[in-house]
Amino acid sequence: MKINGIVAATFAAYQADGSLNLAIIPQLVDKLVADGVAGVYICGTNGEGPNMTVEERMAIAEAYVKAANKRILVLVHVGHTSIKECKKLAAHAAQIGADAFSSVAAFYFKPTSVQNLVDCMAEIASAAPELPFYYYHMPTLTGVGMDMVEFLSIGEQKIPNLAGIKYTASTLHEFQACLNYKDGEFEVLSGYDEMLLSALAVGAVGAIGSTYTFAAPVYLEIIKLFRNNDLTAARALQLKVVDFIRCIIKHPSIAAQRAIMKMMGYDLGDARLPLVPLSSDKFIELKADLTKTGFFELLEKYR
């Protein structure tokens, strides 16, 4: 399996009482299929995997696999503070027909070396040996920031189903080094939406990101422009992305993006504590800022 294009890191959906809203998942998947994404990445950071029970995460995975029906890829994030729970989620992902799985490093008792990190990921990956496994590198949230080239070097010997890295860090030089490790043996998927063009410039062909959930056609146009060597237009469109992401990060990012989904007609309910939704005033402020950047016009133009 090779990921070419963009994968949407989808958001959790809840009912008014805080229980899961599984009924909205087919609608979200149909939208993303129509938008042209290559797949969905579920129960990750934006999908609030760490805020859910293992049973809830399994229910979400089943709903996405059923709704996708092989039209797009389903990548299941199985990261947890307990490796045993990670393995349970990984085995379940394989059982239900997911296409791949992924995990962050443990984020309470943290790995202390690259070898230790690889040993942890090898244990998790072994629970679903038939599926491609992607390490989810996100040091800003996990607090685990290690040499990813060394991770690939050690990991290829201990993790037979290692497919690559979901690379959510701004260290573009290391990202490029990982892309070129052993002439591109592993997939390195760009995880910063605001850096998509930069990632393409150093050789990326795949990316996973949260804003792809509501703005995928804009990013696909950037990829198209880049591949057609229209760099001036690609840079201009990437700057528009940077402008609207700057509006988002004035607020807690997940809350702001969930608010955008609501503006677009997808009410995902309130995120779970300790996450909180935007206040009414902040919701209005965000919408006004996005309008000033031409965000909604951009979505309309490329939908």
- Residue of 48, 61, 4 whose CA lies nearest to 190: 4
Residue 1 has pLDDT above 90, yes or no: no
Task: Select which of 87, 166, 181, 287 is catalytic.
Answer: 166
216 close to 192: Cβ distance less than 8 angstroms? no
Q: Within 10 A of 21 (CB to CB), how many other CB atoms are there?
A: 17
Q: 60-86, pLDDT tens digit by residue? A: 999 999 999 999 999 999 999 999 999
Rounded to the nearest 10 degrees, how much is the dihedral formed by the CA atoms of 261, 262, 268, 269?
A: 140
Give the tokens for residue 233: 């237009």
What pLDDT shows up at residue 282? 98
| CA 137/CA 121 separation, integer angstroms | 12
User: 195-212 pLDDT, tens per residue?
Assistant: 999 999 999 999 999 999
Residue 101 has pLDDT above 80, yes or no: yes
Q: Are 245 and 272 in contact (CB under 8 A)?
A: no
pLDDT in tens, 221-257: 999 999 999 999 999 999 999 999 999 999 999 999 9
Whether residue 193 has pLDDT greater than 90: yes
Helix (H), strand (E) at residue 8 = strand 5-9
- Mean pLDDT (the chain) is 97
Q: Evaluate whether 40 touches 8 at the Cβ level (below 8 Å).
A: yes
With vertex at residue 254, the alpha carbon angle to CA 253 and CA 258, rounded to the nearest 5 degrees, is 120
Has 192 been annotated as catalytic?
A: no
SS3 content of the chain, % helix, strand, coil (to 5): 50, 15, 35
CA distance 18 to 167: 31
Q: Which of 118, 211, 198 is nearest to 156 (CA)?
A: 118
Residue 51: pLDDT band by 50, 70, 90 thresholds? very high
How far is residue 266's CA from residue 197's CA, in Å, rounded to a whole number?
28
Residue 40: phi and psi, rounded to 5, are: -125, 145
Whole-number Cα distances in Å, 99 to 64, 139, 179, 215, 297: 11, 25, 22, 23, 34
What pLDDT is attached to residue 248? 98
- To the question of whether residue 208 is assigned a binding role by annotation, the answer is yes
CATH 3.20.20.70 correct for 5-216: yes
* Helix 54-68 with 25-35: angle, nearest 10 deg: 50
| pLDDT confidence bin for 94, thresholds 50/70/90 | very high
Instruction: Show me where the domains of the chain are located.
Output: 5-216
Which one from 14, 64, 136, 192 is the annotated catalytic residue? 136
**% of the chain surpassing 90 pLDDT:** 99
Q: What is the pLDDT of residue 44?
A: 97
User: Under 8 Å CB-to-CB from 282, ≥6 apart: which residues?
Assistant: 251
Residues 154-183, mean pLDDT to the nearest whole number: 98
Query: Residue 88 catalytic?
Result: no
State the DSSP H helix or E strand holding residue 294, giving kind and residue range, or none if neither. none
Q: Quick one: pLDDT at residue 234?
A: 98
Question: How confident is the model at residue 303, as a pLDDT?
Answer: 83
